[in-house]
Structure 1
Amino acid sequence: MVFKRMLGAFGVGAPSVDTVLSSPRIKPGGQLAGQVRLKGGDFDAEIEHITLGLVARVEIEHGDGEHGGLGEFSRVQVSGPFTLREGENRTLDFQIPVPWETPISEIDGQHLSGMALGVRTELAIAKAVDKGDLDMIAVEPLPSQLRILQALLRLGFHFKSADLEAGHLYGVHQDLPFYQEIEFYPPAQHAGVLGEVELTFVASPAGLEVILEADKRAGRYSGDAIGRFHVSHDDALHTDWSSELDRWLTGLAQHGGHGPGPHGGYGPGPHGGYGPGSHGGYGPGSHGHMEHHEGYGHHDDHRRGGGPGWGTVAAAGAAGLVGGFVAAEVAEEIFEGDEEEGGDW
């Protein structure tokens, strides 16, 4: 384990720690369970705390470019102070609540290229803190999310890549300081009109906020078309997503969307999104109708600034461990060797 290699920071003969997960596969809103196993070293050690954190590789916009970093987005203390005796073996059980907004990293057993998530073990001894032990985890989609993803595949979309962007989406409640973008190549019948299509989920116990961003390359309204809707988890399971998504995409290709809003232009809709008025379009609503908010404009129109504490470390993030971030090249070294075998999706 990487952590054991790094324990030299505590000196020769220091304790060793291994984190064992009951299952490396989880779903948003679930629990990640396992054990932290400690073995005492050549001397008694005063453990101050053992903390587990969920971490992910995130892209942070800075200036004209982006920097990758490793950010912690959930944190649970497994143990407070205790003495680990010389040579003692001790096991600590844990359960970490997985945030509903946790990004997806695996679909049908296939890893999403570009995604890296893990659980990191932090051990504090005598004011020194080591954040070395990091175990890869796979986050599978909720059944409601899977239905939408499967519909895109049935329509002929092909997965391109996925990443996490630091920041918040405009008009969408987020608890985490980043959001996931899953990018698809369009099917052949839309390839001449549409470029990549990006899908974002923001999940909560009540349901899903779903944002679709299509790169529209032809027609009267060229640019990025934004489709946004909210649906309960139960309604998502009973919606014909193939038909609804195909109708939205066909509308973009044939008519440039459903035309301007009530004031003759595209702009912020009634729910904080971009699009026509409250009676236009798609997306399962509370009464089984489809609500839709759609717009054309700059790629970043549906976003607003960086999340709390994340954007401020963007510049320094490329230099090493800063404000919870590890530079991308260091993050890859930490994750290297921990990824399970299997192709990307």
Structure 2
Amino acid sequence: MAFRAFFSALGINAPEADTVPARTDVHPGEELPLRVAVRGGGADVQVDRLTVELVIRVEECEPAETGWAAPQVLASVELGSFTLAAKEERTFEGSVAIPWEMPLTHALGRGLKGARCALRTTMAIDNAVDPGDFDEIAVHARPVQDAMFQAFADLGFRFAEAEVKKHYRNHQRTQKLAYCQELEFGFPSSYNRQSQLEMTVITARPDSVEVIPGSIGSFLFTADELDVAAWTSWLDDFCRSHWSA
């Protein structure tokens, strides 16, 4: 899986950058190695900056409901500046850290509607920055997050959509990113509720999970205590304490 960024402003013989990640399936908290192959065009150029960015889809930044036109940067690796001779070939090695509270694109092995993530390479030459091209990658849930999705499913909830919002929901002071992911689930009939439950789960550290159900408080757990049974029991008790069955 590779993608290529071309500089049309420099003509058909423009330099090109080809980025290949070590894998396209990742989990929060991992390091993603990558290799960028750069090839010179028809003339020597000064590359001011070569950057690989980890970008996500953020709901309020997109002009269309399913848009993917204004990705937001979560992490990046700078690969330096250099002179690139005509037809010269260079290879750069680097890695991008996947944040612990990285928004998910997949849970229980399935894609989540509304969630997108990609690597984007940009190369700046003579103050002109190529906007880059994407290769999407899949961010899979950690076991504690998969356990939550399984609990929702076992209780009869229907997953609707995952939306990344650009705001803080830092009740327990665990959030580190300026973005958080809201997971929307449709209630089963047993809870006598017609609307959806919006669940925000912040996992900024490997050992803790902050759960924010809608606008009703915030709950902090250790990751080790939340298996499927614990998630199911807590979620069922929470819903029944707030909505009549």
Match of 1:158 in 2: 158
Alignment of 1:35-46 (within 5 A): 35-46=35-46
SS of residue in 2 equivalent to 1:254: coil
Q: Output one character per residue of 1:266-294: Cα deviation in whole Å (capped at 9) or x when no partner.
A: xxxxxxxxxxxxxxxxxxxxxxxxxxxxx
Q: 1:81 to 1:40 in 2, by over 3 A?
A: same
SS class of match (1:150)? helix
Aligned residues: 237
Q: Please report the TM-score for the alignment, with normalisation by the length of structure 2.
A: 0.87
Contact 1:27/1:139 (<8 A) preserved: yes
SS at match of 2:131: strand
**Which of the residues 227, 230, 234 maps onto 2:224?**
234
The one-letter amino acid paired with 1:88 is E
Question: Please, which runs of 5 or more residues in structure 2 have no aligned partner?
Answer: none
Corresponding residue number in structure 1 for 2:73: 72
Kindly provide the CA deviation profile for residues 229-260 of structure 1, in whole angstroms up to 9, marking residues without a partner as x.
111222224862212211211222239xxxxx
* Separation in 1, partners of 2:166, 2:179: 4
**Aligned counterpart, 1:251:** 241
**Residues 195-224 of structure 1, C-alpha deviations (whole Å, 9 max, x = no match):** 2111111112231111112xxxxxxxxxx6
Rounded to whole Å, the distance in 2 between the matches of 1:136 and 1:234 is 31
Instruction: Map Cα deviations across residues 87-113 of structure 1 (whole Å, 9 max, x no partner).
Output: 222221111111112101112332111
Query: Could you tell me which amino acid in structure 2 is paired with residue 18 of structure 1?
Result: D
Superposed, 1:134-145 pairs within 5 Å as 134-145=134-145
Does structure 2 conserve the Cα–Cα contact (< 8 Å) formed by 1:53 and 1:119? yes
Q: Which residue of 1 aligns with 2:179?
A: 178
Q: Are 1:22 and 2:25 matched, yes or no?
A: no
Within 2, Cα distance between the matches of 1:204 and 1:98?
11
2:124 corresponds to which residue? Answer: 124
Q: Is the 8 A contact 2:16 2:38 kept in 1?
A: yes
Residues 96 and 115 (structure 1 numbering): CA distance in 2 closer, same or farther, change over 3 Å?
same
Q: State the 1:2 CA deviation.
A: 7.1
Q: Secondary structure at the match of 2:153?
A: helix
Q: Which residue of 1 is the match for residue 55 of structure 2?
A: 55
Describe the superposition over 1:27-58 as per-residue Cα deviations: whole angstroms up to 9, x where unpaired.
Answer: 11111222111122122222222111111121
Share of identical aligned residues, percent? 33
Kindly provide the amino acid, as one letter, of the partner of residue 210 in structure 2.
Answer: E
Structure 1: state its 5+ residue gaps: 214-223, 256-345
State the TM-score, normalized to the length of structure 1. Answer: 0.63
| Cα RMSD, aligned residues only | 2.3
Task: Give the counterpart letter for 2:119 in structure 1.
Answer: V
- Counterpart of 2:49 in structure 1: which amino acid? H
Point out the structure with max Rg over C-alpha.
Answer: 1
Q: How does 1:171-320 map to 2 (within 5 A)?
A: 171-173=171-173, 174-190=175-191, 192-205=192-205, 206-213=207-214, 226-237=216-227, 240-254=230-244
1:164–1:232 distance in 2 versus 1, CA, 3 Å: same
Deviations 1:36-87 (A, max 9, x none): 11122122222222111111121238xxxx997421121221x212222222
In the alignment, the residues of structure 1 paired with residue 3 and residue 136 of structure 2 have an alpha-carbon distance, to the nearest angstrom, of 12
* CA distance, structure 1, for counterparts of residue 66 and residue 23 of structure 2: 31
**Matched position secondary structure for 2:241:** helix
The change in CA–CA distance for 1:2 and 1:27 in structure 2 (over 3 A counts) is: closer
- Give the 3 Å change call, closer, same or farther, for CA 24–60 of structure 1 in structure 2: same
How far did 1:114 drift? 0.8
Give yes or no for contact 1:112–1:162 (8 Å, CA) kept in 2.
yes
Per the TM alignment, residue 155 of structure 1 is displaced from its structure 2 partner at its CA by 0.8
